[in-house]
Amino acid sequence: MLSEALQFLFDTLLQPFAVILLLRFHLQWLRAPMRNPLGAFIMTITNFLVLRARRFIPSARGFDIATLLLAFVVEAIYLAATLWLQGLPIDFPVLGLLMWTAVKLLKLSLYLLMAALFIQALLSWFNPHSPMAGLMAAVTQPFLLPLQRRIPPFGNIDLTLLVLLIVCQLILIVPLRWLENLVLSLF
């Protein structure tokens, strides 16, 4: 019963915080506008940790390495705590945990892209001039533009969003699941 309560807390606090840190990294990498409600929320909830980490970890080639490293550490702590709660001894292979954390961050990144695509589609139907529309466009356009150059619209309907969702799902199913199974075999 105590382990279930702890797992619930980890699922509710640690995992979402890792996702928020990862989202902040991606939004800064994609140069998305942060002057909107979501951007303000992300900055407010993560600044206490990111600003301290930036004192020691510099950016490199326009990538906010401090935020990415913090997301990696929080996700690794989450995975290690989950393994410990499942009864695995503390001496599990650290390299396996680090590799599993990297695969999980890749999966979470794809899920964030898919969520942005879905939100962008909904906003385009119901409220295309929302403050969130610019943010979602900044996140999805670098991935949609190469497809839009190759796939013409069919009857004024742009199917590239659907194609990108299918590609993301295929990446999740084939290479990432294979990588995750490979890493989990180390435990």
Mention every residue, 6+ apart, whose C-beta is less than 8 A from residue 99.
183, 186
Q: For residue 5, count other CB atoms closer than 10 A to its CB.
A: 9
User: Can you give the pLDDT at residue 23?
Assistant: 97
In the chain, % of residues over pLDDT 70: 99
Whole-angstrom Cα distance, residue 101 to residue 107? 10
* pTM of the full structure: 0.91
The tens digit of pLDDT for each residue in 54-91 reads 999 999 988 999 999 999 999 999 999 998 888 877 67
Mean pLDDT, residues 97-117 taken together: 96
Residue 186 banded pLDDT, cuts 50, 70, 90: confident
Q: Is 21 exposed, middle or buried (0-12, 13-18, 19+ CB in 10 A)?
A: buried
Q: How far apart are CA 187 and CA 181, in angstroms?
A: 10
CA 132 to chain centre: 18
Residue with tokens 């190759």: 150
What pLDDT, on a 0 to 100 scale, did the predictor assign at position 50? 96
Looking at the structure of the chain, the number of domains it has is 1
Contact predicate 18/78, CB 8 Å: yes
* 108: containing domain: 2-184
CA–CA distance, 153 with 33 (Å, rounded to integer): 27
DSSP notation for 118-134: HHHHHHHHH-TTSHHHH
Is residue 29's pLDDT more than 90?
yes
pLDDT in tens, 165-183: 999 999 999 999 999 999 9
pLDDT exceeds cutoff 90 at 131: no
Q: What pLDDT, on a 0 to 100 scale, did the predictor assign at position 20? A: 97
Question: Which residues are registered as beta bridge partners of 157?
Answer: 154
Confidence of residue 154 (pLDDT cuts 50, 70, 90): confident
Q: Which tokens go with 3? A: 């382990």
**Confidence band (pLDDT; 50, 70, 90) for 15?**
very high
